[in-house]
Structure 1
């Protein structure tokens, strides 16, 4: 058991000169990103290739779509593992959840850099937003998705945080605080499992809605050739699944190599992930081919021009290598993994790492080819200035990924990446548990808290939607803020169910609850029967 614990906690204890050099470089990159963002905030988009006479969306938007796509893998994998009890992939679930928690804030950071003045964007969408706007629904689904994912990750982590209070002595105070009184009883385990199962079921449609909204933003823009398409939402969702699974395989394979976790992440489990990735890659190639064919033979004329520009025009040098090396080659590697029954003996993780890395890069290029080419074929009576990304734009793109890596490394050092195996309950001694007084209430008080949360949350959502529909132009605003806050309040229900324990009524009278049960009959002293 001690050997297994040391292996599971290896990232939290692993250090050395090379780690600190790497982490120092990542912190320097993060500081550079802050400096670049400060310059962008002060000087504006003149530092970029964007402008009134050029494209208004550039590579930062492609980056936003890509990062949100990466975030899809977290709940997708974890939810399916929990809902269908896929034990073989259980140790991949937390890595996937961590990817979501890292990718979404990085995407929001890119949104802040793209809009230039984030405080105005927040006010206009959060307070004065109209329910008809895709941007408002983008803000809504991202807020709900991130909050739900954070709640899900915390509840799934709570038992392991309590165990870390005993097994990581130098951070005992931190893990006792984070575990918030987890006692690891059988009842507590069952409660967490039930809540996480239902939360996973609820989050799955939220996950799909996130990228559907971004596909809708492009799909309803009739003024831009190459965007106006009713299939943009499913196309974006499918691309997100490809990107997310590629990110999971790449990161999990690298962690397995660095920390020697091949015993916890078997080659067969990687093969399962590779088969799923290969199947969705095939579907993605099919959608991509269909879009190109429609662009060649469809109508109007602007669609022909944009498609010709992508395939044979100024973007052809990027399109064909991306299709051959970025899509077809990884699919061929994944197909070999699928047909090979002895993959664990004839192949290593290296081909999977190569295929996943190629797919990650190629899907980013694919999103670049969605966003940018339409600006070179304007449907206007005059020509606009062609868009070319500046060095500044490439720098903020590069350093935003450095921020994501820094965030992920911090999580690696703070929380256990792999789940501790479960033994007989309880596994946590009382001296390693922080007991908080507000966590133990009567059953009636707990029910009242749950009912009040439901009433407040649903009333805010209903009032916000009603105000948005009946009076979207009211100067006082606040409709979108009400429904977002209401949804976030409803997401506190899983925390209430798991963090607050209902004590039996007998315990509140200061007596042992067992004294108030049915009388116990001893086998050694059976009751006497009198007539």
Structure 2
């Protein structure tokens, strides 16, 4: 019996510490063959993604050439704009994908296992896209990276954000590599480390907003919790979207295990929508009895210039309609879940934008009666800012398409 066990482990190469099966060379050759076996439509879409990245990158580099103060529409009053909200959109989605994958890979929920590989891969892709986007918002990104290491400021939330997200990306990349190598024990510990660092990083990101006492719309202890809950919602929507797209790209029919996985993720996503609706409701109720500055922000969101963003995109498209679709389908209709995920991604992107901008629209000196501070601050993204956002989206699209071909639909998670 012992000899049979040894022989079995030697054959599979899994969890034994031995070399993976098949060998590394054959895995590389198989990946190359998979990339070269795409359809014409695949190569057209992939080429368009690459062209988008190139064009957007040229415009982004032009912003560095002419100077950020000339290229971006951010001002002294509104210093965080579309680039910051896009960065948050990507890192929130990445953390959510990590949480969804950890439910299967770390906590052993079998229904989630078929989506683990794709979720881990996309978590690395989206965090990389987030870092790429914010790279163009920093005047001296290379200097920041150097001083992040040689001159740490442990009292700074921004320092912790960079450090924790950097560790998170490394752990998630290690997890994906060792999943491919069938070293599941190492991949498990990397997944656990990635989950811990990801949640720590993301709650710290929420704390960056929640600890700004001068911005009443953001200030409060609920922000780190809100960020984690919204991350799980974003991750659920993203994995549904990319999984269905992956099967369409590979021209395959979704099998029974994957249908069960999508059903489980749909249930989790619906739960997180309900949680975010709960948070949003009480944010409005408590804000309306708060200070004058916070009420001004809420009125701008509820009935003012940002009402369409809030009611149309955040509430209806981002939460209410997807929630109704998921409940109405009893989480079993893949097409309806796919439609709900598309609506959610659109609504969540606007949600991140509103979160960042609305916190800055009330002038800091308004409550002091300064005449120049009576009106709300205004902001409209510049062409350069929009193209940097397009560059990030192009990176995610190109990497997703490449991953589907190279890793053959991420099916080893079954």
Aligned-pair CA distance for 1:386: 2.4
Report what 2:263 is aligned to: 271
Q: 2:351 aligns with which of 366, 374, 381?
A: 366
Output one character per residue of 1:130-189: Cα deviation in whole Å (capped at 9) or x when no partner. Answer: 110011001111111001001111111114xxxxxxxxxxxxxxxxxxxxxxxxxxxxxx
Counterpart residue number, 1:47: 71
CA contact (8 A) 2:322 2:340 kept: yes
Is 1:256 aligned with 2:228? no
Summarize the Cα distance change of 1:376–1:88 in structure 2 as closer, same or farther, 3 Å threshold. closer
Residues 116, 413 of structure 2: 8 Å contact kept:
no
Give the TM-score, by structure 2 length: 0.84
Superposition deviation, residue 23 in structure 1: 2.0
CA distances 1:78-101 after superposition (whole Å, capped 9, x unpaired):
322133433333221001011111
Provide the secondary structure at the position in 1 that maps to 2:161.
helix
State the Cα deviation string for residues 493-515 of structure 1 (Å, max 9, x = none): xxxxxxxxxxxxxxxxxxxxxxx
Task: Name the SS of the counterpart of 2:409 in structure 1.
Answer: coil
Counterpart of 1:241?
232
Secondary structure of 1:51's partner? coil
**Is residue 2:58 matched to residue 1:35?**
yes
Match of 1:398 in 2: 390
What is the TM-score with the length of structure 1 in the denominator? 0.67
Is residue 40–residue 116 contact of structure 1 (8 Å, CA) maintained in 2?
Answer: no
Q: Using a 3 Å threshold, how does the CA distance of structure 1 residues 124 and 329 change in structure 2: closer, same or farther?
A: same
Give the superposition deviation at 1:12: 3.9
- Of 211, 219, 230, the residue aligned with 2:210 is 219
Question: Which segment drifts farther, 260-269 or 285-294?
Answer: 260-269
Alignment of 1:149-168 (within 5 A): 149-159=172-182
Cα distance in 2 for partners of 1:365, 1:104 equals 19
Q: Secondary structure at the match of 1:376?
A: coil
CA–CA distance in 1 between the matches of 2:377 and 2:326?
42
Map Cα deviations across residues 200-256 of structure 1 (whole Å, 9 max, x no partner).
333322121121011011011111121111110000111111111100001001112
Q: Following the alignment from structure 1 to structure 2, what is the Cα–Cα distance between the partners of residues 277 and 421?
A: 21
Deviation digits for residues 60-119 of structure 1 (CA, Å, limit 9, x no counterpart)? 111111100111234323322133433333221001011111001110011111123312
Matches within 5 A, 1:183-194: 192-194=183-185
Counterpart CA distance in 2 for 1:421 and 1:24 is: 28
Give secondary structure in 2 for the equivalent of 1:375. Answer: coil
Q: Deviations over 1:236-291 (max 9, x none)?
A: 11111111110000100111233214126543322111111101111111011111
Tell me: CA distance 1:303–1:421, structure 2 relative to 1, closer, same or farther (3 Å).
Answer: closer
For the residue of structure 1 that corresponds to 2:194, the secondary structure is helix
Q: Which one of the candidate residues 404, 412, 418 is aligned to 2:410? A: 418
Give 1:368 shift: 1.3
Q: Distance in 2 between matches of 1:202 and 1:373?
A: 34
Q: Distance in 1 between matches of 2:410 and 2:46?
A: 22
- In the TM superposition, residue 385 of structure 1 has moved relative to its aligned partner by 5.8
- Contact persistence 1:334–1:352 (CA under 8 A): yes
Partner of residue 166 from structure 2, selected from 135, 143, 168:
143
1:295 aligns with 2:287: yes
Match for residue 350 of structure 1 among 335, 357, 366: 335
Partner of 1:367: helix, strand, or coil? helix
Pairing 1:325–2:325 present: no
Q: Structure 1 regions of 5+ residues with no counterpart?
A: 160-191, 423-531
Structure 2 residue runs of 5 or longer lacking an equivalent are 1-26
Report the Cα distance in structure 1 between the residues aligned to 2:169 and 2:148, rounded to whole angstroms: 17
CA distance in 2, matches of 1:361, 1:31: 24
Q: Is the 8 A contact 2:202 2:224 kept in 1?
A: yes
Equivalent residue for 1:379, pick from 364, 374, 388? 364
Contact kept? 1:73, 1:248, Cα under 8 Å: no
1:407 has 2:392 as partner: no
Q: Distance in 1 between matches of 2:180 and 2:264?
A: 25
The answer as to 2:119 corresponding to 1:89 is no
Residue 426 (structure 1) aligns with: none
User: How much has 1:40 moved relative to structure 2?
Assistant: 1.3
| Residues in 1 aligned to 2:377 and 2:240: alpha-carbon distance in whole angstroms | 41
- The yes-or-no answer on 1:209 pairing with 2:194 is no
Cα deviation 1:401-459 (Å, max 9, x = unaligned): 0122112222233334334489xxxxxxxxxxxxxxxxxxxxxxxxxxxxxxxxxxxxx
- 2:3 aligns with none
* Local SS of the residue matching 1:313: coil
The separation in 2 between residues aligned to 1:419 and 1:324, in whole angstroms, is 34
Contact 1:73 1:99 in 2 (8 A): no
May I ask how many residue pairs the two structures share in their alignment?
A: 375
2:299 aligns with 308
Query: In the alignment, is the contact (CA less than 8 A) between 1:74 and 1:95 conserved in 2?
Result: no
Root-mean-square deviation over aligned CA pairs: 2.3
